[in-house]
Amino acid sequence: MGNRISSSYNKCVPKPKQDNSMLLIKSEVERQKSLNFYISNLWESSFSSKIDKELEKGGKVILDVGCGAGSWLLEVAKMYPNNQYFGVDVVPIFPKDNLPGNIHFITGNVLNGLPFSCEMFDFVHQRFMVRNFNTRHWKMAVKELTRVAKLGAYIELMEMDLITYSQGPITKKLFESFLAAMHARGISPIIKELLKRTLIYNKSLENIDIKSINSPLKQWDGIKVF
Ligand SMILES: C[S@@+](CC[C@H](N)C(=O)[O-])C[C@H]1O[C@@H](n2cnc3c(N)ncnc32)[C@H](O)[C@@H]1O
């Protein structure tokens, strides 16, 4: 009897909602770590700017904007430990505990102004913001990255064009919906040309260098990815 009552009681009381936010953050952190590993292998380096010798010497200050889980910053800090590293993201999913003294993560929005004074960094890096910024945002972000960069500093942006080749029917359908959603938000999926125009438009920048690489999503010409 007791069991029956208890059973019917359970049916009436809504179960406490499961908090999935930690699980989502965990899987996003893992996704970013895998992507960082993949990109570093694809390019055979963590960055393209010719600053490796200076980073090796030490005493430089490096900023990663939209750092996410901090995978890129932590990787570079491990390779070149004698520098100061700052990561900024609008959503604080970066690590907070047990960090080496030269690594600092801060919550901030590049579109509202970064929490740093002018000309503070020797190397400013920003990656994978294509889904977040429209044309106006890109101009604002590049202006802000330039403001915090020292004269002669390197600013490196890395983005993916959101296009795929040789699509199957499901990928085609998926991408059509995805691109329609991007379009509705004024976001260009073909980022390379937009970035080039934005960088040229910013008259403080010089020696603009653009490198591209095609990346396989799955099995591609005998190369297996994941
Ligand atoms: C696709 S993730 C890339 C994370 C990281 N850069 C990487 O390569 O692993 C984009 C990140 O940019 C952050 N972000 C988006 N808009 C931002 C803004 N206006 N200011 C700072 N961070 C931003 C998001 O919170 C997210 O963590």
Per-residue CA distances from 91 to 28, 124, 155, 172, 226 (Å) = 12, 19, 22, 31, 27
Q: Is 144 in the pocket of ligand 1 (CB under 6 A)?
A: no
- Global confidence as pTM: 0.86
109 part of a folded domain: yes
Q: What pLDDT, on a 0 to 100 scale, did the predictor assign at position 23?
A: 76
9 part of a folded domain: no
Contact 86, 67 (CB under 8 A): no
Q: 65 alpha carbon to ligand 1 midpoint, in Å?
A: 7
Q: What pLDDT, on a 0 to 100 scale, did the predictor assign at position 128?
A: 94
Contact 128, 23 (CB under 8 A): no
Which residue has the CA at smallest separation from atom 27 of ligand 1? Answer: 68
Task: Give the residue with greater pLDDT, 46 vs 224.
Answer: 46
Q: Is 126 in the pocket of ligand 1 (CB under 6 A)?
A: no
Q: Is 43 in the pocket of ligand 1 (CB under 6 A)?
A: no
146 part of a folded domain: yes
Write the pLDDT tens digit of every residue in 181-225. Answer: 988 988 888 888 999 999 999 999 999 999 998 877 665 454 444
Q: Is 62 in the pocket of ligand 1 (CB under 6 A)?
A: no
CATH no. for residue 165? 3.40.50.150
10 part of a folded domain: no
Q: Is 132 in the pocket of ligand 1 (CB under 6 A)?
A: yes
Write the CB contacts of 73 (distance below 8 Å, at least 6 apart in sequence).
62, 64, 67, 85, 87, 103, 105
Write the pLDDT tens digit of every residue in 34-45. Answer: 889 989 988 999
Q: Is 125 in the pocket of ligand 1 (CB under 6 A)?
A: no
The number of distinct structural domains making up the chain is 1
Q: Which is nearest to 125 in space by CA: 99, 96, 89?
A: 89
pLDDT exceeding 70 applies to what percent of the chain? 87
Which range scores top for mean pLDDT: 75-89, 158-172, 192-206? 75-89
167 part of a folded domain: yes
220 part of a folded domain: no
Q: 71 alpha carbon to ligand 1 midpoint, in Å?
A: 12
Which residue has the CA at smallest separation from atom 23 of ligand 1? Answer: 66
14 part of a folded domain: no
115 part of a folded domain: yes
Could you list the residue range(s) of the whole structural domain that residue 75 is in? 20-201
Q: What pLDDT, on a 0 to 100 scale, did the predictor assign at position 9?
A: 45
Q: Which tokens is 166 given?
A: 């040789």
